[in-house]
Amino acid sequence: MPTEASKFQGKAIINGRFLDGGGERRIALVNPADNAETGAFAASTSAQVDSAAKAARAAFEKGVWHSQPPPFRKAVLSQWSDLIEKNREELASRDLLDMGKPISAARFEVGIAAGFARYYAEAIDKFYPGRTAPTFPGACELQVRRPRGVVAAITPWNFPVVNAMMKLSQILAAGNTAILKPSEQSPRSAELLVQLALEAGMPPGVLNLVQGDGETGSALAAHHDVDLVAFTGSTRTGRALMSAIGESSLKPVMLECGGKSPELVFADIAASDRPDIARAIVANAMMNTGQVCVARSRLYLEDAIFDEMLELVTAAARAMAPSDPRDETTQMGPLASRKQTKTVLSYIEAGVADGGALVLDGRRNDASGCYIGPTLFTGLRDDARMVREEIFGPVISIARFSSESEAISRANASPYALAATVWTTNLRRAHEIPAALNAGMVRVQACAAPNPVGGYAHAGEPAKQSGFGIEGGMLALESFSRLQSIETVFGAAGTP
């Protein structure tokens, strides 16, 4: 077990001070690689959430962050990025311990997370927060972006450092103060990230941390001092969050929820590229053991290449097997918890019960960890439960299509609209199909390529039950700020 992870204190961080949770409720932490308990922490009570919200509100009102010169805020975020890089090993080992992320992937993700702080540090003095509207002569209307105030970032367990840093970098670069509530399954890296922000010179109260589960999260979301909630997690929780906010403090909420993203493969892809494409399809779908909201878990292959691609995809999936995340060579780790393992197993059983053919069965008779290998189904109807619902595991359902319009309508026949991939070398398809697809992020690929292609400029907005609100790139700075219009009349001609 990594020794660094034992430095986790399990505390909230409010106004720059480390505090005990304040209540009796303790949450146990379990390593999914061997199901051993690795520690516990006290959940933040609603009184502690109240202190965190008040601290963030006071820091915002005093202007210790947004009223400071851009070079100051830029320097703090840059320094934070450097410290995250310096603590790469410790942050990675914390995520490994909490949710079984393979150590090589965990290290890579810390690099991505540090990059978010650097990208948004650089954006601070390059983002023009406003414009001038057309008006009558003698008048002027400025349309200015202001920080929203106090933003709550509620994050899931699948990419602990990446999700936290993507949200916090955007929120803080736009001038807001923040409260982070990480998942109760992955609290360790969040604590260190906030500690490093303080070391980087972030004024106390600008970034606060509360720890706990849905009870803590709902207290935070409902708090009257929180102006915006930025949430990533399940559609079920997104729905609960929206109704709770509607019943309480009514505020904007940004939701990045579930997905059941389609992948369409047209027969026009070059025959020589097909083995690489099959490997890329499987690698993407199995990334993070399939626990990715944008995982392409519905694979549609055009008739003419169905048999060939099925064979290639099966061979690529067969070559992957989950193993000990502490091993430097492991590409695929366990699922993040026993609960998640049970969920995935129940979907596999539902697929079998609905008449699906298990081309590859990743289930194991192994009680010592949360391991399920790549699992492939064919022969399921589009309305089968495991084809419609998000599984969040290493399971792909594979089907055939015989026309472009059929492919599009089946891809869109989902309650979700998060992402999609189209494999084609046809220029017309490359332009027309994305317009027809209901998905916030569409990737069109003529050949296999390194992932990701867009870097930090990549932005997207989910639709349907996948949520709403733009994150990523410079556009995120608009999401995390609000519009204020200022009408100025300086001449009589300005009176309409």
Active site residues: 256, 293
Residue 345 interacting with ligand ADP (CB under 6 A) = no
Supply the minimum distance, in Å, between the C-beta of residue 261 and ligand ADP.
16
Cis amide prior to 187 (ω within 30 degrees): no
Minimum CB–partner distance for residue 134 and ligand ADP (Å): 42
Q: Which of 16, 156, 356, 460 binds ligand ADP (CB under 6 A)?
A: 156
Residue with tokens 């965190």: 52
Closest CB 156 distance from ligand ADP, rounded Å: 4
338 in helix, strand or coil?
A: helix
Q: Which residues contact 141 (CB under 8 A, 6 or more apart)?
A: 132, 133, 135, 485, 486, 487, 488
Torsion on CA atoms 464, 467, 468, 471, rounded to nearest 10: -130
**Closest residue to ligand ADP, Cβ-based?**
217
Closest contact distance (angstroms) between CB of 239 and ligand ADP is 9
Nearer to ligand ADP, 107 or 181 (CB): 181
Name which of residues 237 to 296 contact ligand ADP (CB under 6 A). 237, 240-241
Site string for ligand ADP, 158-197 (x = CB under 6 A): -----------------------x-xx-------------
Report yes or no: 229 and 152 within 8 Å, Cβ to Cβ: yes
The region of 105-113, 154-162, 188-196, 460-468 touching ligand ADP under the rule CB under 6 A is 154-162
Closest distance of CB 169 from ligand ADP, Å: 18
Q: How many residues bind ligand ADP (CB under 6 A)?
A: 17
d(CA 285, CA 291) in angstroms, rounded, equals: 9
Distance between first and last Cα of the chain: 72
Q: Angle at the Cα of 15 (from 209 to 172), degrees rounded to 5? A: 65
In SS3 terms, 240-274 reads as HHHHHHHHCCCCCEEEECCCCEEEEECCCCCHHHH
Residues in the chain: 496
| Per-residue contact string for residues 205-234; x = within reach of ligand ADP by CB under 6 A | --------xx--xx--x-----------xx
- Shorter beta-carbon distance to ligand ADP: residue 380 or 395: 395
Residue found under tokens 């954006």:
123
**336 binding ligand ADP? (CB under 6 A):** no
Q: Work out how close the CB of 1 gets to ligand ADP at its nearest, in angstroms, rounded to a whole number.
A: 23
Q: Is 157 in the site for ligand ADP (CB under 6 A)?
A: yes
| Of residues 175 and 212, the one with the C-beta less far from ligand ADP | 212
Shorter beta-carbon distance to ligand ADP: residue 53 or 121: 53
Nearest to 310 by CA among 404, 221, 218, 377: 377
Q: In the chain, helix, strand, coil percent, each to 5?
A: 40, 20, 35
Q: Which of 429, 452, 426, 427 is nearest to 441 (CA)?
A: 452
State in angstroms the smallest separation of the CB of 160 from ligand ADP.
10
Q: What's the rounded Cα separation, in Å, for the pair 183 and 216?
A: 10
Which CB atom, from 233 or from 322, has the smaller least distance to ligand ADP?
233
Within a 13 Å sphere around the CA of 56, how many CA atoms are in the beta-carbon half?
Answer: 31
* Chain contacts with ligand ADP (rule: CB under 6 A): 154-157, 181, 183-184, 213-214, 217-218, 221, 233-234, 237, 240-241
